Amino acid sequence: MKRILVVDDSATMRKMVMATLRNIPDVTFGEAGNGLEAIEQMKLAPFDLMILDLNMPDMHGLDVLRFVLSHPDYHSTPIIILTTKGDDQSRHEAFEAGAACYLTKPFQPQSFSEQINDFLNGKK
């Protein structure tokens, strides 16, 4: 069973992401409403992939990204950025920090689900 951690300050967006990905077999979800909760969650239960917003209270998504990837257990874990920020600088900074993929909201459900499934199965 693969576990996806969905990190977004919007509960509605977290639910939308999880509902979109429910068609992927053998997947469970964890969720966090901010960066500090995400770090807490990573210590409580391992995950195979993280979907991370950039604009959040407490801790910016890039800081979460850097922290997670600096942890020995997660240094090669795919972290997918899902954000409203579509500018080149934000995209560049995310990839420089180690993001595996950068997607903008709103997303296309079918394409999003396929991309996440590919990451979970090592095809990306």
Residue 124: per-residue pLDDT: 72
Domain that holds residue 81: 2-120
Percentage of residues in the chain having pLDDT higher than 90: 94
Cα distance between residue 72 and residue 85, in whole Å: 29
User: What is the domain-level CATH number for residue 37?
Assistant: 3.40.50.2300
Distance, in Å, from the CA atom of 32 to the CA atom of 75, rounded to the nearest integer, reads 20
Q: What is the mean pLDDT of the chain?
A: 95
Rounded Cα distance between 39 and 111, Å, is 28
Backbone angles phi, psi at 17, to 5 degrees: -60, -50
Q: Which two tokens stand for residue 115?
A: 């991309």
Per-residue pLDDT, 72: 94
**How many domains does the chain divide into?**
1
Write the single-letter amino acid at 59: M
Q: Which residues pair with 103 in a beta bridge?
A: 82
- What is the predicted pLDDT for the residue at 57? 86
Q: Which residue has the higher pLDDT, 124 or 26?
A: 26
Question: Which contacts qualify for 100-105: CB closer than 8 Å, 24 or more apart?
Answer: 100/124, 105/13
Are 69 and 100 spatial neighbours (Cβ–Cβ below 8 Å)?
no
pLDDT in tens, 89-123: 999 999 999 999 999 999 999 999 999 999 998 88
Task: Give tens-digit pLDDT for 29-67.
Answer: 999 999 999 999 998 999 999 999 999 988 999 999 999
**What global pTM score does this model have?**
0.95
Residue 74 confidence (pLDDT) above 90: yes
Contact 108, 81 (CB under 8 A): no
- Answer for the pair 101, 78: CB distance below 8 angstroms, yes or no: yes
Write the Ramachandran bin of 29: left for phi over 0, alpha for psi from -120 to 50, otherwise beta.
beta
